[in-house]
Structure formats: structure tokens, C-alpha cells
Amino acid sequence: MNAGAGRPAEGGVAAAAQAMRAFTRRRIFWPLATLVLLLLFNLISNPHFFSITIRDGHLYGSLVDILNRAAPLMIISMGLTLVIATHGIDVSVGAVVAISAAVAATLIGGQLVISGGMQDVSRYPLPLVILAALAVAALCGMWNGLLVSYVGMQPIIATLILMVTGRGVAQLITSGQIITIYYSPFYFVGNGWVLGLPFSFFLVGAVLAAVLVLARRTALGLFIEAVGVNPVASRFAGVRARSITFWVYALCGFCAGIAGLIVSSNVKSADGNNAGLLFELDAILAVVLGGTSLAGGRFSVVGSLVGALVIQALTTTIYAAGVPPEVTLVVKALVVFAVSILQSDRVRNRLGALVGNEEVAR
Amino acid sequence: MRNPAAPSLAAPASAAGGARRAPRRLDPRHLPLVVTIALFLLMFGAGSVAFDGFFSLQVFLNLFVDNAFLAITAIGMTFVIVSGGIDLSVGSVIALTTMVSAALVEQHGWSPAVVIPLVLCLGAVFGFTMGVVIQYFEIQAFIVTLAGMFLARGLCYLISINSITISDPFYTHVSMLRIPFLFDTSISFNVVIALVVLAAAVYLAHYTRFGRTVYAIGGSEQSALLMGLPVPRTKVLIYTLSGFCSALAGVVFTFYMLSGYGLHAGGMEMDAISATVIGGTLLTGGSGNVVGTMFGVLIYGTIQTLIMFQGELSSWWTKIVMGLLLLLFCLLQKAFERRSARA
């Protein structure tokens, strides 16, 4: 805001510099810069990285691939952004992904039924399957929301319970089996193409539009920030902090449910132990990278999307560079450490003092 | 300035309320512990009635034998939670300890006499680092330890994705060792370690300055600071202690399983937190004790044994029941909190 105030503006160069400074100040700048750097690194190591070809009317290429693979994570991180903005956390998203996948797979039925040349048989119609999976996921989210907002448990404990027991619940739903899905219409969710683009891309767009309309076109976004900054003050100000917290967790569960459908459709099976494994780390990392502070308050949904893309690009880079995939987990954990240290007030104040107190003033 | 004043306003009111209502009743802080012991007796009794051969000293002792590592972890966790923090990295640190031990002993031929002190130091350093980040960068404990949890798991996979079996004579000997107890029963060496840790923890919590400071920080960190207690140092030490306990639990777990594996002790962080909370430690900090935690661990063991005796339920039910119990005790704590707030 007060960039360049008190400094003489000298023509267009200064104006451009000022615009540049204003842009670097934006929350979205750092995640975007990281993404661009990662992509450039890939471009140098593989000159064909940016090439996109059209095959069978579908777009193919590394960039499309990253977008496609990042879809479940992008959807979850949008839901988690709102949770974190209320000064909460949801570490159960991975388990909810597994539960939603398990519900969908169980309702479709794991048998390869071949009757009269037809092998696409589902026990229940597809819309019902999808609705049921999403409803169960939303219920999981509501359960978290209930514990956090109305019972008043710490979010980390409330969601930790679901994180650990949720995998057990998923196991119970599939009776401990890995259920393979043989019903090809269901494959469309994770592998389908619309207008040359992956269908999951449109799912991300739909969720993004819904979240943006809710958070930016209505007062809800402001309320969420108010709850995150100071729940007591916001309640005195007439914000219904409890019900907002409740619905934010429900939405997060719902998002995890969509991601669960995409994941199970991608791998054509549901595995209670491994579906959505470590998604909670990736999602938290995406949100933190996107510039939303873990201390609650201001949030950036688009930033989280970029954060999710950074993570997927990082994973792709690690694979492409021939580094063993096990390293990814270590790298991600270290990045969480680094980013949260950079976000901490102490470091910000130090850095702010270094660059002339502008950070503090803001 | 506002915070120190708030307790002084609230304190006389609650003290007066307490005196008016029940001058001689049990200290409400000990009520959770009584509930825990009662629950344990009830569950063990129910098992004894339902299954033949359940009511025996050996079954009781096996609760310790099979859960020595959980007891050690949960004792470390108790200090963390009493101070008002949380440590989510414990399960992964156990896995990392088994993995490092197995890799060094089996693949590099190191002597256990070197490996065991080394992994204990490693765990302490891991906890120390997290403590420093929590204290000096003022980041919430759960984020730092969550990152630590994933980091330790990642380091496991870096060593090997597969399980490494340990055939070192020292480890197998300790694993097989049975110490005779009363009436033809026996305990393993792990139980001895766990009981020594328990005794040390009781001493540390109730007879040292460090222990007093831990409770003071949990009661009110600001008051502890104003009293001139060494809060930063103690907080770092608490996480160091928890890291050390996890590493020790990892050593015990190595004796128990005789292998190193990156998937060992998955979800253990919740078991340890559950055992602590069921044992009567308040999640908000300031109240609780390690003896209660031990009973929390025994309850965990009893659930496991009940499910084993039942024979049909999958082992996942242990986690689900433990999660529900954790939930139940959290609700209980909330109820107590509200009642004391109203009084």
C-alpha cells in the first residue's frame, strides 16, 4: 500500500518498478514464483517439457499431466484453506479420501460381472453411488465440525481421531479388501476428457468457482477471517462463529470426498490403507505455500491452488530427475519446516527490520 | 496486561464456590484418574467374565509385555501434554529408530553397544530440534511435530522401503529373555525398561524443579514467565525428553519386533495421546500425571486383548475403540471444564 510513499516518482520506470513492487507484495507472488522456477528448471533439463500435443482430440503434455494429477490435491487444499483460515486444521482429509473411495467402490460392487457381453454392471446407479460417497464424506466433515465448534475440542485432536480411526472405518466398509472397480462409466470421473481437457480439471474449476463465490461475493469470507483472527470478538460482533466453523469443516470433508472419487476412479480401486495416504501433509503444505497463515485469518484460495500445483510440479520434477521417490516425503517435510519458519512473526520482523520496516508497517 | 488479571478475578469466585458446595469431596483434578482406574478394572473384569483364561496373572503381565513401548512413549507424551503442547512425531520416531538400528546392525555390522546409545541420542536431538523451532520461532507445536512426523517417516523410506529383519545375537537374546515372576509367570526385559522409565518419570515430574516448571507452564505460560521460571529452556527440554522417550520406545520396539520397518508404529501418536488423555491428563495442560498414563496404556492393552480373545473382529477395532475412548474422555474433560467454569 505505502510502497514508494515519500519517494519521488520518476516517470514510467518508477511507475513500472512500483507496480512490480506492489505485485511482489501480493500474497500470490511467492507461490507463483516458485512454480515458475520449478517449471523453468524442468524446461532446462527437458526442452520438450512445455510441448503440448493433441492426440485423439485430447491435449497431452507434461503441463496437462501436472494439472490432471494435482486435481485431487487442489480440491482438498481449497477446503482446507477455509478450515485453516478459521485457525483450525484438518488432518483427517487423507482418511476421508479413503472412506469416500471405499463407499463408492463398495456400492459399485467389486465383481467383474460378464452377462451377455456386458461387463459394466454396478449394484447401484452411478448418481446414487457418487451422491452416497459425497454424503458420507460430508458427514465425516460435519463430525469434525461438530467436535470442534460445538464441543470445543482442539481441531488437531478432533481430526486426529478421524485420521487414525477413519482408515479403520474404510477397512470395515471394504471388509479389509482392496476392491477393484470394473464399472467403466465411473472411470470418467478421474480419466474422462471434456473438450480436450481432463474432466477433473472441470471439477477443480467448479469447486473453485463455488468457493470463490461463497468467500468473495458474499460476506462469508470476511466472517471466516474474523473467526480466524479472534473467535470471541467475532461472536460479540454478531458473527455466528460456531456455525461458520461447523460448515467450513463440513465443506472440507465434502472436498475430500470429491478427491476420493477422483483418486479411486484414477486407480480403479479402493484401498483403505493407501488411498489418500499422506494427503494431509500435501494439503497443509499446499495451503501454507499458497500464503495462508497457519495462525488463521487472511486466506487465499487461489494461492492454495498454486501451492498444490507447486507440490505436483515438485513431485514430477523429482521423478523426472531420477531421484528416488522416497525422497519426496523428506523434501516436503523440510519445505513445511522452512515455510512455517519463514511465516513466523519473529522471522518476519527480523526480515522486516532488514528491508526497512515496511513488512512490519503492513 | 489483561491476562494476568483474569485468573485473579476468577480464582476467588471458583474457590468460594468450591468451598460452599463440597468442602471434603475428592479433588476434582483426581477424578479423571479414579474414572480411569475404574474403567480399567471394569474392562478387565468384563473380559474375565466373558472369556475363559482371561483372568490370570500372565494375561495381566502381558499387558505390560505387549505395550512396553507404548508406555514409554506415552510417558514422554504426558510431559508434553501437561505443558500444554503436543507431539505428533512419536510414532515416526519409533519407526526411524527401528530402521536406523536394523540398518546399522544388520547391513553395516555395527555393535549394538554403539547403535543403541546412538539412536537414543538421535531421538533426543530430533526432539531438541523441534523444541527449538517451537520455542524460538513461535510456531504452533502441532505443525512442527506434524512436519517432524512426516520427516521421520520419509527418512525411514530413505534407508529402505522394505522391512529389515534383525538376526543379531544381542537383539535376539534380549528379545527371548524372560524374567521369572511370581507363580510361574514371566515378564520380558522390555517391561523392566518401561517400569524404570515410569519410576524415573514420577521422580522427574513430582520431585524436581523441571517437573514443577512443566506443570507451571501448562497452568499458565505467562504466569510461569512472570514468576521467573526458565520457560524457554524447559519447553525445549520437554520436546527433547519426548524425542528421547520415543527413541527408547523404538529400541524396545526393536527388541519386541526384531525388525526395522518404515511402517512400524503407524498411528501410534494417537494411541499415545489417547493413553495420556484417558489417564487423566488435561489436553489444555497443567494437570495430569504419569501413573494415570500407565493406566491409560493398560486400558489400551486390555482392549487389544479383548479383541484378540474375541477372535473375529479385525485389529482395526483396537484403533477405533481407542479413538472413541479418546473422544469420550475429551468430552468428559470439557464437561468438567464447564462445570468448574460455572462454579
Residue in the block written with cell 469416500 = A100
Asked whether the beta carbons of A320 and A42 are under 8 A apart, the reply is yes
Assess: ipTM above 0.85. no
Asked which of A130-144, A292-306, A331-345, B146-160 is least confident by mean pLDDT, the reply is: A331-345
pLDDT tens figures, A135-159: 999 999 999 999 988 888 888 888 8
pLDDT at B75 over 90: yes
Task: Please name the residue of chain A whose CA is at the shortest distance from the CA of residue B158.
Answer: A326
Question: What average pLDDT does the segment A340-353 reach?
Answer: 74
Asked if B207 reaches chain A (Cβ–Cβ under 8 Å), the answer is no
Quote the pLDDT of residue B248: 93
Taking CB atoms and an 8 Å limit, are B316 and A171 in contact across chains? Answer: yes
pLDDT at A254 over 90: yes
How many angstroms away from the CA of B127 is the closest CA of chain A? 14
The three cell numbers of residue A163 are: 485420521
Taking CB atoms and an 8 Å limit, are B153 and A329 in contact across chains? Answer: yes
Quote the pLDDT of residue A111: 63
Quote the pLDDT of residue A360: 42
Taking CB atoms and an 8 Å limit, are A160 and B273 in contact across chains? Answer: yes
Give B186's strand partners: B180
Asked whether the beta carbons of A327 and B158 are under 8 A apart, the reply is yes
Does residue A21 or residue B139 have the better pLDDT?
Answer: B139
Q: What is the pTM of this model?
A: 0.79
Residue in the block written with cell 483474569 = B6
Q: How far is CA B314 from the centre of its chain?
A: 24
The three cell numbers of residue B194 are: 518401561
Asked whether the beta carbons of B296 and B304 are under 8 A apart, the reply is no
How many angstroms away from the CA of A11 is the closest CA of chain B? 42
CATH number of A54-323: 1.10.3470
Averaged confidence pLDDT in chain A: 79
In a domain, B105, yes or no: yes
- How does B93-125 read in b/e, with b if 16+ C-beta sit within 10 Å? bbbbbbbbbbbbbbeeeeebeebbeebbebbbe
Contact map slice: A 299-338 vs B, CB within 8 A: 324, 326-334, 336-337
Asked which of A22-31, B69-78, B118-127, B264-273 is least confident by mean pLDDT, the reply is: A22-31
The phi and psi torsions of A182 (rounded to 5 degrees) equal -110, 10
Instruction: Out of B154, B316, B323, name the one closest to residue A161 (CB).
Output: B323
Asked whether the beta carbons of A181 and A110 are under 8 A apart, the reply is yes
Q: Is residue A23 very low, low, confident or very high in pLDDT (cuts 50, 70, 90)?
A: low
H or E segment to which residue B300 belongs: helix B290-310
Quote the pLDDT of residue A253: 93
pLDDT at A114 over 60: no
pLDDT tens figures, A173-211: 887 777 777 777 777 777 777 777 778 888 888 999 998
How many angstroms away from the CA of A85 is the closest CA of chain B? 15
pLDDT at A116 over 60: no
- Any long-range contacts for B6-13 (C-beta under 8 Å, 24+ apart)? B7/B220, B7/B223
Asked if A122 reaches chain B (Cβ–Cβ under 8 Å), the answer is no
Quote the pLDDT of residue A10: 55
Asked which of A316-330, A343-357, B290-304 is least confident by mean pLDDT, the reply is: A343-357
- State how far the alpha carbon of A95 is from the alpha carbons of A98, A168, A212, B283, in Å: 5, 9, 26, 23
Q: At what angle do helices B316-342 and B31-50 cross, to 10 degrees?
A: 150
Q: Is residue A29 very low, low, confident or very high in pLDDT (cuts 50, 70, 90)?
A: confident
Q: How far is CA A77 from the centre of its chain?
A: 2
The three cell numbers of residue B260 are: 526395522
pLDDT at A235 over 60: yes
Asked which of A53-67, B21-35, B261-275 is least confident by mean pLDDT, the reply is: B21-35
pLDDT at A252 over 90: yes
Quote the pLDDT of residue B27: 66
Quote the pLDDT of residue A359: 44
Task: Please name the residue of chain B whose CA is at the shortest distance from the CA of residue A161.
Answer: B323
Q: Which domain holds residue B258?
A: 69-266+282-287
Asked if A345 reaches chain B (Cβ–Cβ under 8 Å), the answer is yes
Q: Establish how many alpha carbons lie within 13 A of residue B85's alpha carbon, considering only the half-sphere containing its beta carbon.
A: 36
Provide, as residue numbers in chain B, all residues whose Cβ is less than 8 Å from the Cβ of A324: 158
CA distance B229 to A326: 43
Task: Say if strands B164-165 and A197-198 run parallel, antiparallel, or are unpaired.
Answer: unpaired
Question: What average pLDDT does the segment A260-288 reach?
Answer: 82
Question: What average pLDDT does the segment B89-111 reach?
Answer: 88
H or E segment to which residue B99 belongs: helix B90-102
CA distance A307 to A336: 12
Quote the pLDDT of residue B4: 41
Question: What average pLDDT does the segment A303-313 reach?
Answer: 87
Asked if A151 reaches chain B (Cβ–Cβ under 8 Å), the answer is yes
Q: Is residue A361 very low, low, confident or very high in pLDDT (cuts 50, 70, 90)?
A: very low
Instruction: Out of B86, B154, B319, name the one closest to residue A156 (CB).
Output: B86
Quote the pLDDT of residue B26: 61
Quote the pLDDT of residue B72: 93
- State how far the alpha carbon of A61 is from the alpha carbons of A53, A54, A198, B175, in Å: 6, 9, 12, 54
Instruction: Out of B148, B283, B319, name the one closest to residue A164 (CB).
Output: B319
Asked which of A79-88, B138-147, B197-206 is least confident by mean pLDDT, the reply is: B138-147
- State how far the alpha carbon of B316 is from the alpha carbons of A176, B199, B300, in Å: 9, 32, 13
Q: Is residue A356 very low, low, confident or very high in pLDDT (cuts 50, 70, 90)?
A: low
Query: Among A355, A335, A360, which residue's Cα sits nearest to residue A345?
Result: A360
Quote the pLDDT of residue A143: 93
Give A59's strand partners: A54
Quote the pLDDT of residue B263: 78
Taking CB atoms and an 8 Å limit, are A172 and B316 in contact across chains? Answer: yes
**Total number of domains in chain B:** 1
Provide, as residue numbers in chain A, all residues whose Cβ is less than 8 Å from the Cβ of B84: none
pLDDT at A4 over 50: no
Quote the pLDDT of residue A145: 92
Q: Establish how many alpha carbons lie within 13 A of residue B259's alpha carbon, considering only the half-sphere containing its beta carbon.
A: 12
Provide, as residue numbers in chain A, all residues whose Cβ is less than 8 Å from the Cβ of B330: 147, 151, 153, 157-158
Query: Among A115, A29, A75, which residue's Cα sits nearest to residue A263?
Result: A75
Max avg pLDDT among A20-24, A101-105, B8-12, B55-59? A101-105
Asked which of A122-131, A254-263, A283-292, A337-346 is least confident by mean pLDDT, the reply is: A337-346
pLDDT at B88 over 90: no
Provide, as residue numbers in chain B, all residues whose Cβ is less than 8 Å from the Cβ of A172: 314, 316, 320
Quote the pLDDT of residue B308: 82
Hey, of A165, A230, A327, A349, which one would you mutate to test binding to chain B, going by the most B CBs within 10 A of its CB? A165
The three cell numbers of residue A10 are: 520518476
Asked whether the beta carbons of A190 and A69 are under 8 A apart, the reply is no
Quote the pLDDT of residue A175: 79
pLDDT at B131 over 70: yes
User: With pLDDT > 90 as the criterion, what percentage of chain A qualifies?
Assistant: 12
DSSP B26: P
Contacts with A117 (C-beta within 8 Å, 6 or more apart), sequence order: none
Quote the pLDDT of residue A9: 47
User: With pLDDT > 90 as the criterion, what percentage of chain B qualifies?
Assistant: 18
Residue in the block written with cell 501437561 = B82
In a domain, B93, yes or no: yes
Averaged confidence pLDDT in chain B: 82
Quote the pLDDT of residue B14: 43
Taking CB atoms and an 8 Å limit, are A329 and B154 in contact across chains? Answer: yes
pLDDT at A340 over 50: yes
How many angstroms away from the CA of A333 is the closest CA of chain B? 5
Asked whether the beta carbons of B152 and B99 are under 8 A apart, the reply is no
Task: Please name the residue of chain B whose CA is at the shortest distance from the CA of residue A87.
Answer: B140
Question: What average pLDDT does the segment B326-333 reach?
Answer: 81
In a domain, B8, yes or no: no
H or E segment to which residue A269 belongs: strand A269-270
Q: Identify residue B67 by its one-letter amino acid code.
A: N
pLDDT at A6 over 50: no
Quote the pLDDT of residue A119: 60
Contacts with A34 (C-beta within 8 Å, 6 or more apart), sequence order: A289, A310
Q: Is residue A25 very low, low, confident or very high in pLDDT (cuts 50, 70, 90)?
A: low
The three cell numbers of residue A354 are: 532488514
Asked if B52 reaches chain A (Cβ–Cβ under 8 Å), the answer is no
Max avg pLDDT among A73-82, A105-114, A228-237, A282-291? A73-82
The three cell numbers of residue B183 are: 507363580
Contacts with A137 (C-beta within 8 Å, 6 or more apart), sequence order: A96, A99, A100, A103, A253, A254, A256, A257, A258, A260
Q: Is residue B163 very low, low, confident or very high in pLDDT (cuts 50, 70, 90)?
A: confident
Max avg pLDDT among A278-292, A342-356, B229-243, B271-285? B229-243
Q: Is A230 helix (H, G, I), strand (E, B) or coil?
A: coil
Q: Where are the alpha helices (DSSP H) in B208-287?
A: 209-219, 221-226, 231-257, 268-278
CA distance B225 to B128: 21
